[in-house]
Each structure stands twice: as C-alpha cells, then as structure tokens.
Amino acid sequence: MGWLASFFLATAFIPSLVSASILGDAARQLAHRIASVTGPGAIALDITNRSSLDDKSVRELRSALEAQLRTEGVRTANADESMGSVQVTLSESIREYVWSAEIVIGSDERGVVLVSAPRAQAGAVPASAMPLLLRKSFLFTQQQPILDAALVEMSGGPRLLLLDASQVAVYRQQGGRWEQEASLTITHSRTFPRDLRGRLLLLRRDHLFDVHLPGTVCRSSATPPLTLACNDSDDPWPLTTDDGGVRAFFAPARNFFTGALSPGIGKVSNGPSFYSAAALPRSGYTLWTLAAVDGSIHMLDGMTDQVIRGAKWGSQLAAVHSSCGTGMQLLVSENGDPEQDSVRAFEIPDRDPVAVSSPAEFDGPIMVLWTDGSGNGAIAIVKRQDTGWYEAYRISISCGS
C-alpha cells in the first residue's frame, strides 16, 4: 500500500510550478506527523487552502494525504464516526509552502503540527506567437541581466554568445538545448553604471568579437579555445556592425553616448547625447536616426539635424536589412506601457517615419535592441514583468501579408 501511495504522490500530484516530489515529500511528512499525534483510527479531515495552490492541486493533495494517512493506519470519516478532527491549512510564506494541521482529539486536546516545502521559482516562459511582419525568435533566458547576444557559426556548429556584466558565456547547441561551453570573464577596473549597457560585435578584422562596455573594451582571441582580454578604454564604440563605420563616444559612468562622433556623420561630429542610433543608406548619403536622451528623435544626413518631438518612440533603435519594402527598416521600441513593450518597424521614405509593421509585443520592457552581426535582424533583450528574468530574442522582418 505504501509504495502505491508513494507512486501516487510522485506521479499524480503535480501542481503548477511546484515540484511533485518536493510537495509529495511534504505531504508524506504531514501524514506521518498527524498520525504520530492521533494514532491509528478514524479522523475527520478538513483541508482549507489559503495558498496559491490551485483547486486541482488541492484536490490531488487531499487524495495524496488521505492515501498516505491510510498507510499510517489513519482513515478519514465523518465527524460523528471519528475519534477527532484534523484541520489542515495550506498556507505559504514568502519562501515556502507551510501546511499546518490542527488536531483535536476528544473534547479539548489540541495539537499543531507543521511541515514546509520550498516554493518553486517561476521559470522561463516560452515566446509568444509571431506577428505577421516582425518575426521574433526566442534565444535564451536567464535571471541575470543580458546586455547583448549573438549567434555565430563556429567549427562544431552554431554558438550563442551572451554578454552580461561579468562574462561572455558561450553556449553550444546540444540536443535542441543551449549548453554552456565556456565562460569568458570580463575584468574591469572602473565601476560600471547602474543601467549597464554593452555591445558584442562579431567578426572583427583579426579576431572573433569585441565587447564594448562603459569605460572598458574586451577583445576575443581569433580561434578556439576562446579567450578574452579586457582593458580600460574610452575609445568610441562602433555604431554599425562593420568595422569601419561611424563611431560614438559612450559616457563611461552613464547609460548614453555623449554625442561626440569619430568619424563624424558627414560634417557633423557632435550630435545630441543619445541612447541609440541607426543608419539608413540613401543614394548618395546615409540618414542617421538618433534616439536622444531628452526623448526627441534626431535625423542627421551629414548636413542638417532635423528634430522630431513627441514621436512616442522609446530609447532603442536598430536598422535591419530585409527583402521587403525599401530593403532597410528601422526597428523601434515604442514608448508605451512598460509592462508590455513592443517593437515596430518604420521606414523613412522622406523625412517622416512611416510605420510598416504591426507591433511585436513583449511581456516587459525592452532593455536592449541592437542590430545583430548579420545586419538582417536585431537582438532584443526583454525583462519579463512576471518573472523578472531576462529573455533574448532575435527579431527579423518577413514580407508576410
């Protein structure tokens, strides 16, 4: 009978977000402790749920508890057929589930037994359905803030590089999952700002990737085994994925680019302080779009600086190649509800942005939006509102109807 109850506990009692074995053990302990107070016989069992367990879980728990009590020689019955009553309350603290059983035997003999079980951490939630024009592909999730991510082909198959405050983690696909293969530590002598930003740029001239962080730059080795060498540096960050484009100085103790450009955009070597920038090639020139720190949008063509206010755009811009429309779109994080942020594609046929996609929605603010190494997509990092975890996505544009 005991093995049957154990089997039941291990297989049937699986409330949402809770490990069956952990709660199964707790139910077993509770039954044992109740039985140690009541001794064998009949009891009236009442269960009250004051926790976040759902009704189905409570029903399963009740069955499991009764089964385990039976193995202890205690059966449940109506109050008038019982030697006593057991009031079980399913409660929880901030850390754990706490189940109490108040046991009354005879007229006034009252005992309390308690057991606890750790509450499960909320896990990663898979990506939601794709919209028609913007395709978002879930890459990875973790608790630590992700600053950038990149997919790269290497010998032995594709790798996912994840940049956070302390490392570049290298993941390799194994059986449909990303398994960590290496961790390249980031060393830095300067204090990082609170809203830390970082950029992972692939396929540099003579090595695999660079990492740009405020006041710090790191360079990887060219071939496996990968290593990473970091130095203090105030050198400007590349604004495009190619090595020879416009670069901008990043304020080492802040979260924005200062506006100083090297080389400049045409004749413009000083723009406004900005969070992000994107380049849209035109015939004869490149139109740069900057999300300025003051919330305005600046469009620089090398000669003029056109300012757009009240665009309701967020801080993140990225330019992405596609085979649709003009062949180059601007992905923009929208300045809406921080609990459900979104990205939308725009084109700028003349000087006014025109939305060319419906928004791709995310369950939390978009922390990062960088053009990826191929230029055909963007990496978006989202902080989920419900779990607080960070999710990396690749966003690309398809020419769907």
Partner 1 sequence: MRRIAFLFLAAASLLDVALGATRPRYGGTLRVMLQSAPNSLELLADGTPVDYWDAARILAMLADNLVEIDGAGHAQPALALTWQSDLNGKRWQFTLRRGVKFHDGSAASAAAIAQILGERHSDWTVRGAGDSLTIESDSPMSSLLAELALPRNTILKRTANALPVGTGAFRVTDFQSGKLLKLAANEESWAGRPFVDAVEVELGRSQRDQAIALELGKTDLIEVSPQATAANGTQRVRTSLSVELMALVFPANSKAQDVRVREALSFAIDRKPIQSVLLKGAGEPTASILPNWMTGYSRVFPAQANLQRAKVVLTDSRQPALTLSYDPRDPQAQLIAERIALNAREIGITLQVLLSGIADVSLIRIVLPSSDPATSLREAARELGLQQPLIHGSSVDDLYQAERTLLDGHTVIPLFHLPVASAAGARVRNWQPGPTGNWNLSDVWLEADSR
Q: What whole-number distance in Å separates Cα of residue 308 and Cα of residue 52? A: 48
Nearest residue (CB) to partner 1, 376 versus 387: 387
Nearest residue (CB) to partner 1, 245 versus 338: 338
**Least separation in angstroms between CB 273 and partner 1:** 10
**Least separation in angstroms between CB 124 and partner 1:** 17
**Least separation in angstroms between CB 253 and partner 1:** 5
**Least separation in angstroms between CB 186 and partner 1:** 10
- Please give the DSSP secondary-structure letter assigned to residue 145: P
Nearest residue (CB) to partner 1, 314 versus 373: 314
Q: Which residues bind partner 1 (CB under 8 A)?
A: 50, 89, 91-98, 100, 102, 112-116, 143-145, 164-166, 191-196, 253-256, 275, 293-296, 309-310, 314-315, 333-338, 341, 365-367, 383, 388
- Please give the DSSP secondary-structure letter assigned to residue 32: H
Nearest residue (CB) to partner 1, 359 versus 373: 359
**Least separation in angstroms between CB 147 and partner 1:** 9
Q: Which residue has the tokens 């990149």?
A: 150
Nearest residue (CB) to partner 1, 150 versus 297: 297
Distances (CA, A) of 349 to 121, 211, 280, 287, 354: 48, 34, 10, 11, 8
Check if the beta carbon of residue 214 is closer than 8 Å to that of residue 192: yes
**Least separation in angstroms between CB 316 and partner 1:** 8
- Please give the DSSP secondary-structure letter assigned to residue 304: -
CA angle 84, 90, 94 (to 5 degrees): 145
Among candidates 80, 69, 7, which has minimal Cα distance to 36?
69
Distances (CA, A) of 35 to 67, 84, 117: 12, 12, 19
**Least separation in angstroms between CB 11 and partner 1:** 26
Backbone angles phi, psi at 303, to 5 degrees: -120, -45
**Least separation in angstroms between CB 317 and partner 1:** 12
Nearest residue (CB) to partner 1, 96 versus 305: 96
Nearest residue (CB) to partner 1, 23 versus 98: 98
Cβ-count burial 157-175 (b if 16+ within 10 Å, e if not) = eebbbbbbeebbbbbbeee
Nearest residue (CB) to partner 1, 235 versus 337: 337
Q: What whole-number distance in Å separates Cα of residue 248 and Cα of residue 260? A: 6
Q: What whole-number distance in Å separates Cα of residue 354 and Cα of residue 399? A: 16
